[in-house]
Amino acid sequence: MKELMKEIRQFTEDRDWDQFHNGKDLALALSIEASELNEAFLWKDAKDVKIEKVKEELADVFNYAFLIADKYDLDVREIVMAKLAKNAEKYPVDKARGKSDKYTDL
Amino acid sequence: MKELMKEIRQFTEDRDWDQFHNGKDLALALSIEASELNEAFLWKDAKDVKIEKVKEELADVFNYAFLIADKYDLDVREIVMAKLAKNAEKYPVDKARGKSDKYTDL
Amino acid sequence: MKELMKEIRQFTEDRDWDQFHNGKDLALALSIEASELNEAFLWKDAKDVKIEKVKEELADVFNYAFLIADKYDLDVREIVMAKLAKNAEKYPVDKARGKSDKYTDL
Amino acid sequence: MKELMKEIRQFTEDRDWDQFHNGKDLALALSIEASELNEAFLWKDAKDVKIEKVKEELADVFNYAFLIADKYDLDVREIVMAKLAKNAEKYPVDKARGKSDKYTDL
């Protein structure tokens, strides 16, 4: 994962785009890419989704998510594991099992 | 990264949440978490942003992004590298350098 | 406003698009259009924003927002006034005046 | 509609919130509210949606959409009618009838 982040950072540095990459605009860009990913599913059943579109837009989402992690010096593995631990407390297996209604606050 | 994805998948399986995790709702959930991350920046200058909020919401974004990758059997490294290669063609260093206007179509 | 909603509904009916317009996809479409509006501001200062883009994307946002109101038989004026009344309680003038921090939960 | 916009503007002025209401943050707030509306549909079938949640979040969406229109001195009826006219050219009745695939680019 660290190597992948290095590649992404290099791409940005090569183009001198750091100057645009403040946290607020990176988060905004991430949100826009997440919306483009959602477009792959709009007005459609799951079976009609084009996997190529999913691949491309999900790649864009990861790209910005990693740039934000890099910007704030966050260890992706660490923050995700910490959140899983927090969610494990909020949604204990015996209570949350098979229930989507609790899940909506995740 | 594969280990992290395994942890995330395990969390879901333990709660029997696979049944809710169709691609469309996962993409929607990702988008909602991206919005919550944006809330950390709303009405604020970058300097007033609370890093704890960024950590938590970015972790949620990664969580769903990995679940989508898992759902469609995508190799995160592979799709991100493929997109970087595509973007490198679209934004060659000599033309894109220091320009945000080209970047908006990324 | 009612006449405008009638025009929007007519446009949809003429194309027999009601069949795609379930609440979930309409809300998703609204969210996607809101993201396209945000694209007008991405990597930019307010002064560099192109008003034509704002006009078009904001029109799309209103289009879907009215379609959702129509779908659920909601009176736009009524729900907005009800929410303003609720917000007036949550953010009393004397306490909320000039403070953005309270505002973020709006 | 103009009266409703006046009420919304008054609410903002009473709290001296104009200072936070730049176009970029207003668009961001709109997008966040659109996501909260989407939360009403997340992991759910249309029939399980709670109408009270839809009302409240749609009201928030309209609130910010009107504030943006106000900010840029846009006539909502005018921009929506102009977009409908443009879409009518892009999706002529005889070609777009009953097809969701053309619709996805709307």
For B46-95, write each residue's pLDDT tens digit: 789 999 999 999 999 999 999 999 999 999 999 999 999 999 999 999 98
Structure tokens at B46: 């970058």
C24 pLDDT exceeds 90? Answer: yes
A105 pLDDT exceeds 80? Answer: no
| Displacement of CA B76 from its chain's centroid (Å) | 11
Give the whole-angstrom CA distance, residue D106 versus residue D101.
10
Q: How confident is the model at residue A99 (pLDDT cuts 50, 70, 90)?
A: confident
Residue in D with minimal Cα distance to C2: D1
Backbone phi, psi, residue B2, to 5°: -65, -35
pTM of the entire predicted model = 0.94
List residues of chain A with CB under 8 Å from any CB of chain D.
Answer: 28, 31, 39, 42-44, 100, 103-104
Percent of chain B with pLDDT over 90: 81
CB contact set of B78 (below 8 Å; sequence gap of 6+): none
Structure tokens at C71: 């779908």
Give the whole-angstrom CA distance, residue D103 versus residue C19.
12
CB contact under 8 A, A31 and C43: no
Closest CA to A26 of D46, B86, B106, D68: B106
- What confidence tens digit (pLDDT) does each residue in A35-67 have? 999 999 999 987 899 999 999 999 999 999 999
Asked if C12 and B68 touch (Cβ cutoff 8 Å), the reply is: no
Q: Which of A42, A45, A67 to mutate to test the interface with C (most CBs of C within 10 A)?
A: A42
User: Domains in chain A, ordered, with CATH?
Assistant: 2-74 (1.10.287.1080), 75-106 (no CATH)
Q: Is residue B100 classed as helix, strand or coil in its secondary structure?
A: helix
A25: chain C residues, CB-CB within 8 Å = 42-43
Give the whole-angstrom CA distance, residue B58 versus residue B35.
10
Give the whole-angstrom CA distance, residue D19 versus residue D12.
10
Query: Between the CA of residue B84 and those of B13, B31, B34, B106, what are the distances in Å?
Result: 32, 22, 21, 10
- In this prediction the ipTM stands at 0.93
Give the whole-angstrom CA distance, residue A12 versus residue A8.
7
Other Cβ atoms closer than 10 A to A6? 12
CB contact set of C79 (below 8 Å; sequence gap of 6+): C69, D55, D56, D58, D59, D62
Residue in D with minimal Cα distance to B32: D35
Structure tokens at C23: 């609440």
Asked if A60 and B83 touch (Cβ cutoff 8 Å), the reply is: yes
The residue type at D26: L
Which chains have at least 3 CB atom pairs separated by less than 8 Å from chain A? B, C, D
CB contact under 8 A, D41 and C23: yes
CB contact set of C81 (below 8 Å; sequence gap of 6+): D4, D7
Please tell me the predicted confidence (pLDDT) of residue D106.
43
Please tell me the predicted confidence (pLDDT) of residue C102.
54
Give the whole-angstrom CA distance, residue D78 versus residue D81.
5
Higher pLDDT, C103 or A56: A56
Mean of pLDDT values over D94-105:
73
